[in-house]
Amino acid sequence: MRVFIAGFQHETNTFAPTKADWAAFEAGSAFPPYRRGQAIIDAYRGLTLPISGFIDHAEERGWTLAPSAWAGAVPSAHVTKDAFERIAAAIDEDLVAALASGPVDAVYLDLHGAAVTEHLEDPEGELLARIRARVGAAVPIVASLDLHANVTRQMLDVSDALVAYRTYPHVDTADTGRLAAKLLERRLARGSKEPMAVRRLSFLLSLNAQCTMMAPADGVYETLKSLDAKHDSVLSFAMGFPAADISECGPVVWGYGDEAEPAAQALFERADQPRSQWILDILSPEAAVSKAMALAADAGKPVVIADTQDNSGAGGDSNTTGMLRALLALKAGERMPGKVAIGLLFDPEAAAAAHVAGEGAQIDVTLGKSVPTWAGQFSDPPVPVRAVVRKLSDGKVMMKGPMGRGSKVSLGPSACLDVDGVLVVVSSQKTQMLDREFFRYVGIEPEAMKILVNKSSVHFRADFTPIASTILVAKAAGPMAVEPGDLPWTRLPATMALRP
């Protein structure tokens, strides 16, 4: 069997300050850089990407792969029209060439499912439709999706099968690529598209509530697995990315199989009621730091605080100062010198100044930025500080946590700055604090800290839960609203509630 494969990954926060242009996809940053052709097989085989799982399964089955382009960029505001159309054109050009050189038996796409471009509300649906127009109705098209996908009717109708991650933090990405391959095998064995059932929830879910390491999400996905076993179905529950101002933003349950209808209905009922199960406990920056200091006094492990509204994995730029200001105002570093750390703070200027001065030097810098959040509001002002440069790094890091084990990232010139006993990790590239190595690469041993402030929403839990005594969630001003109801929505239908 000959399968055409490609990928397009972007999670779009339409309220965020920075767009994803072509350069963002070329760089990749926390994603691999843009690749095309055989390079995506050679580079991604055996990794933790969804396309990696599909490639591994396909090669085990002896399938022939016709690789096109794979493009991913860190979450941000809209993908520019230029960037999307370049990626779509490359995929289309390669598909035309593949069809000209022989039969294409199937198509697999590694998609996120929550992209929005300057000109399209549903670019994944558009990409699927363009591919369908090329290959015709008989060629199966399957795709893997992120758990945060905003799944549209067009995406479901144009494809033969879609399947989403079942974990957040996302530790089953490659497994989901394999599951997409198995769905393709089911489709081919049947000879036609399997019956599909779809249910849409009528309320938005905060990202923090979507964590599958705790209730209620863990129980919902356990129910999903048991229903699949009972009905021989393949169900998915995409909880949605609740910062995309589009008409089909929100959680969706869907599934395939002869008994898809009762399976999907049962899963929908488990997720839908009671809505109170999805309500969060969120603290102000000052309350979070105060509580962390009290807990840390007698704890044998660090207290971890999520600076969730500056999560660069959800559209933030990882450069706001609300949590740093709270740490300094409450003198956390003075009371626990060298035992309080915050990162990653995306601040190339501060990192450059530290590298010019050298380790051990004292520098006067202004940390962070005040950035637009929503409805004309801005985050906290930058913080002028006198800091000691404790450690410098070139930013080359090998990830070791569950989310990206074995992947190499380049964070650019970086430094550990000591500001009144608070250790601040400044980097020249932005990525969320989801791996302990993002502290270690500048000399901070996270296990030895009393308080860790992570600019992340949920992904950090995969690597930090084992070392944390307590995890708190703080609501410092930033571009990624922890409460969807805080955002100035314009395109959601009136039937979609902003809170459970």
Backbone angles phi, psi at 234, to 5 degrees: -125, 100
The dihedral built from the CA positions of residue 396, 434, 32 and 21, taken in this order, carries a sign that is negative
Q: Spell out the alpha helix ranges (H) of 343-404.
A: 348-357
CB 315, CB 16: distance < 8 Å: yes
How far separated are the first and last CA of the chain, in Å rounded? 46
Coil/strand/helix, residue 328: helix
User: 10 Å Cβ neighbour count for 283?
Assistant: 18
Percent of the chain residues past pLDDT 90, beyond the cut: 93
- In one-letter notation, the amino acid at residue 325 is R
Asked if residue 344 has a cis previous peptide bond (ω within 30° of 0), the answer is: yes
pLDDT tier at 374 (50, 70, 90 boundaries)? confident
Q: Which pLDDT does position 219 carry in this prediction?
A: 98
pLDDT tier at 400 (50, 70, 90 boundaries)? very high
User: 10 Å Cβ neighbour count for 281?
Assistant: 7
460 vs 376, higher pLDDT: 460
Q: Which pLDDT does position 202 carry in this prediction?
A: 98
Backbone angles phi, psi at 187, to 5 degrees: -65, -45
Q: What is the mean pLDDT of residues 434-449?
A: 98
Q: Which pLDDT does position 17 carry in this prediction?
A: 87
Task: Report the C-alpha gap between 244 and 15 in whole angstroms.
Answer: 7
H or E element, residue 187: helix 173-190
Is the model's pLDDT at 29 over the cut of 80? no
pLDDT one-digit tens code per residue, 150-205:
999 999 999 999 999 999 999 999 999 999 999 999 999 999 999 999 999 999 99
Q: What is the mean pLDDT of residues 119-124?
A: 98
Q: Which pLDDT does position 404 carry in this prediction?
A: 84
Q: Which pLDDT does position 116 carry in this prediction?
A: 98
Which has the closest alpha carbon to 343: 355, 335, 351? 351
Q: Which pLDDT does position 467 carry in this prediction?
A: 98
C-alpha distances out from residue 52 to 3, 55, 141, 175, Å: 14, 5, 17, 9
Rounded to 5°, angle at Cα 414 from 412 and 415: 175
User: 10 Å Cβ neighbour count for 225?
Assistant: 11
| pTM of the predicted model as reported, rounded to 2 decimal places | 0.92
Task: Report the C-alpha gap between 255 and 250 in whole angstroms.
Answer: 17
Q: The tokens of 160 are what?
A: 């033969």
Q: The tokens of 50 are what?
A: 């969804």
Is the model's pLDDT at 408 over the cut of 90? no
DSSP single-letter state for residue 48: S
Q: Where are the domains of the chain?
A: 2-278, 285-484
Q: Which pLDDT does position 376 carry in this prediction?
A: 78
Q: Which pLDDT does position 274 carry in this prediction?
A: 97
Is the model's pLDDT at 232 over the cut of 90? yes
Coil/strand/helix, residue 145: strand
Is the model's pLDDT at 375 over the cut of 80? no
User: 10 Å Cβ neighbour count for 359?
Assistant: 14
Q: Which residues pair with 162 in a beta bridge?
A: 143
Q: What is the mean pLDDT of residues 258-268?
A: 98
Chain-wide mean pLDDT for the chain? 96
Q: What is the mean pLDDT of residues 125-136?
A: 98
The dihedral built from the CA positions of residue 27, 32, 38 and 43, taken in this order, carries a sign that is positive
Percent of the chain residues past pLDDT 70, beyond the cut: 100
pLDDT one-digit tens code per residue, 150-165:
999 999 999 999 999 9
CB 424, CB 383: distance < 8 Å: no
Q: Which residues contact 37 (CB under 8 A, 6 or more apart)?
A: 67, 68, 69, 94
Specify the residue for token string 């019956």: 195
pLDDT one-digit tens code per residue, 282-311:
999 999 999 999 999 999 999 999 999 999
Q: What is the mean pLDDT of residues 261-282?
A: 96
